[in-house]
Amino acid sequence: MIESLRILLKNVCERENAKKVISIEMTVHPYSCLDEDNLNFMYLSILGDDPILKDAKIKIKRSEKVQQRQFIVNNIEIEVD
């Protein structure tokens, strides 16, 4: 999950010429074990050395409906030059 998120963020940053990612808003499956604290810890542990991605915070909300995917990225807030 973190690896697919990293690829998505890198693609967005390259396309938009982003200086850094500020936040990632996600919707997660209502029965998912994912929570905001654990996601931010994993994210920082895995991607913490990348200067563009290191300061981003993940914000999640639980979906009301059961969906096929475990998570959906709703918004990526970036800082551009």
pLDDT tens digits along 24-65 = 999 988 888 888 898 888 888 887 688 888 889 999 988 887
Q: How many domains does the chain have?
A: 1
Domain of residue 74, residue span? 2-80
CATH code for the domain of 62: 3.30.2320.50
Q: Report the pLDDT value the prediction gives residue 29, as an integer from 0 to 100.
A: 82
Q: Which of 6, 80, 65 is nearest to 31 (CA)?
A: 65
Which distant-in-sequence residues (6+ apart) come within 8 Å of 38 by Cβ?
A: none
